[in-house]
Amino acid sequence: MIHIGNNVVLMKRIKGIIRLSIILTLIIGGTGYAYRLPADLTETCDPVLQKGLEQCLVSLNLKSAAQDKSLSIVLVDITDPSSPRMAYVNPNEMMYAASLPKIAILLGAFERIANGEMTLDPQTQETMAHMIRNSSNQAANEILNRVGKEYLADLLQSSRYRLYDPEKNGGLWVGKEYSKSGAWKRDPLHNLSHGATALQVARFYYMLQTGRLVSPELSLQMKSILADPAIKHKFVKGLKSVHPDSRIYRKSGTWKQYHSDSAIIEHEGRRYIAVALAKSDQGGKWLSDLIVAMDDLIFKSAPTDLAHN
């Protein structure tokens, strides 16, 4: 009996056990560790990473933006997923997130697929990829309506995921189509149509990376859709300027002065989650500069026993 999140997967055949083991190894990234994954990310800061993040804000002249809550950040080193190292600023600040919450629609679709209520055929896969990589509003609306708006709202608030958690000031929320039509259900705490907190987005990526969104196999499928972003701004622009070979699994959002980006980033043996949401006309540049500084911090603060794995 293998426990994954709230699911219990019974594998009666040796072949099945081996197959699942391979999938989990691919997801959590690497060999050489007997991973015992924590149940969830907690708001426990790594002191070295936290100090470094605060210094980054000073060097980038973003300290005042953090202080007035127009910038929220969560950074998590998950090179060893059994011992994530976290730093953050305003992690539970609910902000308008534009297209970033399309990752929630992706989750809803894969829950429907797992339940046999949607089919992962080539056209559906292409539509979801267009929704994520190109941030197509038309594709997002198509998938949202196939998933069901009420279904998605319930899923985000479910005890299994808690990606929208009133006790944590909210989280991922999709209460409106990506169109000029009115909102059907704004978030209960802040009246936002498309919202997020940096912490809940980071939790989404952590559960994805550790195979706990829907199932290990479907987590891999979801991660593949987040690969190869077609829009080259914010995190992608900044990171590719200094590390062009880095792999970025990402979803961003932009509307007026609201800028957000979120990703799993992998290169040179390290893997980390970066999430940032900003309210500023300069927010896009903030995020491009910030990801370069955070990437450097991940490597400079790396534990010596993991530095070369």
pLDDT of residue 305: 57
Instruction: Indicate the angle between helix axes 14-28 and 216-226, nearest 10 degrees.
Output: 30
- The separation between CA 272 and the C-alpha centre of its own chain, rounded to angstroms, equals 11
What residues does each domain of the chain span?
Answer: 2-300
Provide the greatest CA pair distance for the chain.
58
Q: Which two tokens stand for residue 305?
A: 């026993």
What does the pLDDT profile of the chain (309 residues) look like in tens digits?
A: 233 333 333 333 333 433 444 444 444 444 333 346 777 888 889 999 999 999 999 999 999 999 999 999 999 999 999 999 999 999 999 999 999 999 999 999 999 999 999 999 999 999 999 999 999 999 999 999 999 999 999 999 999 999 999 999 999 999 999 999 999 999 999 999 999 999 999 999 999 999 999 999 999 999 999 999 999 999 999 999 999 999 999 999 999 999 999 999 999 999 999 999 999 999 999 999 999 999 999 999 998 755 444
pLDDT of residue 43: 84
Rg (CA), the chain: 18
Q: Which two tokens stand for residue 17?
A: 């056990």
Look-up: residue for tokens 């062009």? 244
Residue 265: closest CA among 217, 301, 229: 229
Residue 162: closest CA among 37, 40, 8, 27: 40
Superfamily of domain covering 2-300: DD-peptidase/beta-lactamase superfamily (3.40.710.10)
pLDDT of residue 22: 41
pLDDT of residue 3: 31
Look-up: residue for tokens 């990310």? 41
pLDDT of residue 36: 64
Bridge partners, residue 236, by sequence: none
3-state secondary structure of 57: helix
Whole-angstrom CA distances from 289 to 137, 293, 302, 303 are 27, 7, 21, 24
Alpha helices in the chain (DSSP H): 14-28, 47-59, 63-67, 102-114, 122-133, 137-147, 149-156, 198-209, 216-226, 234-242, 283-300
